[in-house]
Amino acid sequence: MTKPKLIGIAPQLIVSDVVQTAEYYRDILGFEIIGYFLDPPVYAMVKRDEFQIHFGKADADFEINKNGYYKKGCTDLIIWVPEIDAFYEELRSKNAIIFQEITKRVYGSREFIIQDCNGYLITVGD
C-alpha cells in the first residue's frame, strides 16, 4: 500500500477585514488572490508559488492575540525562501514593514521578520 503523500498546508489567520488583508498580501508581499467567499467576504485565500495562506473574518471587533502574546519572541508564520536576499529587496521596495533585518542565527539559517497589515509577524528564512 502506498503511503498517502501530504502536498501542502494552508495556515488560516483570523483578521478583521479579509479583503484588505488579501489585497495587502497581493500588493506588498507578491501573493495572488485565489478567491473570496460570500458577499461581503468572510474568507479569502492567497498563494505565492505553491504556498497558500487563508484568512477568516473575526466574528467580532476585538484584538486578535498573535503568537507573541503567548510566547515572547514567537512569530506567527515561517516561510522558507532560498533566495532570501532577493525576496528581502522585493519586499523592501514595496514598503513592507521589516520588523527585523536579515540576521544569521546560531543554528545557521539567515532570517528576517516582516509584519503584515494585521500585526502578524512572519519569519522568512533561507
In order of their start, the domains of the chain are 9-59 (3.10.180.10), 66-126 (3.30.720.110)
Q: How many helices (H) and strands (E) would you count in the chain?
A: 3, 8
- When pLDDT is cut at 50, 70 and 90, the band that residue 1 belongs to is confident
pLDDT tens digit string along 96-121? 999 999 999 999 899 999 999 999 99
Q: What is the pLDDT of residue 93?
A: 97
pLDDT attached to residue 8: 87
- Taking alpha carbons only, the member of 47, 48, 44, 50 closest to residue 7 is 50
pLDDT at 88 over 90: yes
8-state DSSP, 59: S
pLDDT surpasses 90 at 84: yes
